[in-house]
Structure 1
Amino acid sequence: MPDWPYLCAIGFVFISFIIAAYLIYSGLLSEVVVLTGSPPIKKITIVYKFIQGPYKNCGHVFKESHNIGPKLPLIGVFYDDPQKVLGPDCRCAVGSVVSEGENRAPEDLLQKYKTTGFSIFSFPEVTHVVTASFPHRTPLSIILGVKRVYPQLTQYIQERRLCAHPFMEVYRAGQILYIAPLARQGDFYVPELRPLPTHEDSLSDSDISGAESNSECSLGSGVALSESRESSLNRSSIRSGPERGSCDRTSRSRSKELIGDQDGRQGERKENHGQGESVQKSQEVSTQELWGVVGGGRSR
């Protein structure tokens, strides 16, 4: 008669061994290194669908994109922090990378994506990003990446007061690349999120705040994670950082202060120069009109 307790113990040990091996293979013990430096990808062109809603609902778009181009790297770009933004208001763009660098995507492939409702957009290559990587060997790797990578990314960014957003995940070559640009952040926002340009935007988008290296953001990085991400499908998504323009607003106010200081100093020089001297009224009128035109242009 079989010894059932003994067999059950052997079976339990065997199953535990398989589970432990699966966890380790999926990346449970993999080292996570967060770096600031050159990006692991160059300028890229992506096909994507813009989604507004809980991030756990974006898995089907990853699957759809993978079915059209099974050999292409997958990408997810996430713009909102679900711990600060309600799930229905969270925004992301998910799809595939169709070309990198100066390479061009085949037109027939782009046409397949277009006919199924995907849009096309390009991200620039920047000199500095915050980046980390994690093995992508099983569906569980995505969940482990959320649990292990993002806490370290959050700590790294907050300790150094970096302005890093939006957050991207790129799936390629058996790895998940986590990337957050430190410069030209506005160029990583798809057209669905871009407001109509204004005069102030034209000043700020010139990358005054670009901080090609360790740019600071007075509002902090705002990086956070949410458990809702884990229920996404195999190609899953992340929790993003601060809202668009949070870094630009800081540098924009600084640039305005500099402009105001310059105008003030020039006004003081005019006043001091005028003391003890007789200046012709026609010259005073023309000078006042000139400064009125310049000041009015800046206020717009």
Structure 2
Amino acid sequence: MPDWVSLCVLISLFISLLTVAGYILYSGLLSDITVLTGSPPVKKITFAYKFKQGPYKNCGELFKESHSIGPKLSCLGVYYDDPRKVPGPQCRYAVGSILSEGENEVDEELVKSFETSGFNVYSFPEVTHVVTTSFPRRTHLSVLLGITRVYPRLGVYIKERRLCAHPFLEIYREGQIEFMAPLARQGDFYVPEVRQAEKSLSELEETHSDSEVSGAESNSEYSSGSGVLLSDSRETSLAASSVCSAPVQDQGDGNYRGRSSRETSFKELDWEPTGGQLADQKSLEAPTQEWWGAVGGEE
């Protein structure tokens, strides 16, 4: 009799292990990841968002809140800083939902609902070239696997080609997660709160600086933490913004943001999207500082 009990336990354990392994495989453990430079997965978008400053691990709450207001909308996360260089409490990100794409009209009732909950509305332009890839979103675990597997590939791709790609966007649609980083007009992907923070920082540094600066430098908007140069210009060319002159060795090892677990599980937050789911004016025209996204491990 004890032998039968032991056998049943072993069989149950074996079936459990097979189930777990199948779940992980189905979630995307071995899915192909193809990184490309080309057209973006989205056209011009208008989205409702909340801007936050702090560890990226806290972004899950905003995804959950945004999804609760517009459950049929695709969710979007935009990450601005490199946590290898910027302390977690100072990392900046915007999370929300896409209200419209391309020439589609925005639902004004949805806009009011988001604004009532404290969200702002902003538009990103359609650009011609981005670094992009996608990952299947089949289970809660797919989010974790996607972040863990995709960003190292993006880091290697960008490093080998000496590209300037920033900021990094994650678009959560029904069935897949789309990752992209623009190679042109990057400044247009920075929400107003980031620009205001850069401007305030620049003014503060100028006030306390004892060194003489040129007129162009005194008007600069520079984030020493993120290494991002912002400009008020809404235009920049692909050729000028896609290649940087900073040394390749400064790019790090290609591990992105250390959000391998995001340290906040969407499953724990009970969130699952179901959407149809800067130096002067010339800084974006001829960037001299390498910034290829928040590639690195979060402290």
Equivalent positions of 1:1-300 (< 5 A) are 1-2=1-2, 3-195=4-196, 196=199, 205=233, 207-208=235-236, 210-212=237-239, 215-219=242-246, 224-227=256-259, 229-234=261-266, 248=283, 251=286
**TM-score, structure 1 normalization:** 0.74
SS at match of 1:93: strand
For each residue in 1:227-251, what CA deviation from the matched residue of structure 2 results, as whole angstroms up to 9, or x when unmatched?
4752224299xxxxxxx67993782
> Residues 128, 253 of structure 1: CA spacing in aligned structure 2 closer, same or farther, 3 A cutoff?
closer
**TM-score, structure 2 normalization:** 0.75
For each residue in 1:138-178, what CA deviation from the matched residue of structure 2 results, as whole angstroms up to 9, or x when unmatched?
11111111221111100000000010000000001210000
* Aligned equivalents of 2:231, 2:14: Cα separation in 1: 65
* Aligned equivalents of 1:252, 1:227: Cα separation in 2: 28
Q: Higher helix fraction: Structure 1 or Structure 2?
A: 1
Q: Which runs of 5+ in 1 are unaligned?
A: 237-243, 255-300
For each residue in 1:43-84, what CA deviation from the matched residue of structure 2 results, as whole angstroms up to 9, or x when unmatched?
000000001001111111110110110000000000011121
> Residues 203, 26 of structure 1: CA spacing in aligned structure 2 closer, same or farther, 3 A cutoff?
closer
Q: Which runs of 5+ in 2 are unaligned?
A: 203-215, 222-229, 270-277, 290-299
| Paired amino acid for 1:216 | V
Q: Which has the larger radius of gyration?
A: 1
* Aligned equivalents of 1:39, 1:9: Cα separation in 2: 50
SS at match of 1:248: coil
* Aligned equivalents of 1:180, 1:253: Cα separation in 2: 18
* Aligned equivalents of 1:156, 1:60: Cα separation in 2: 31
Identity %: 52
Report the CA distance between 1:215 and its aligned residue.
1.6
For each residue in 1:96-115, what CA deviation from the matched residue of structure 2 results, as whole angstroms up to 9, or x when unmatched?
00000011211111000000
RMSD: 2.9
2:148–2:259 contact (8 Å) kept in structure 1: no
Over 4 Å off, 4+ runs: 195-204, 220-223, 244-247
1:55–1:229 contact (8 Å) kept in structure 2: no
Report the CA distance between 1:216 and its aligned residue.
0.8
Deviates more, 1:61-70 or 1:212-221: 212-221
SS at match of 1:194: helix
Report the CA distance between 1:206 and its aligned residue.
6.3
> Residues 133, 252 of structure 1: CA spacing in aligned structure 2 closer, same or farther, 3 A cutoff?
closer
For each residue in 1:81-138, what CA deviation from the matched residue of structure 2 results, as whole angstroms up to 9, or x when unmatched?
1121111000000000000001121111100000000000000000000000000111
* Aligned equivalents of 1:66, 1:212: Cα separation in 2: 37
* Aligned equivalents of 1:167, 1:47: Cα separation in 2: 17
Report the CA distance between 1:8 and its aligned residue.
1.7
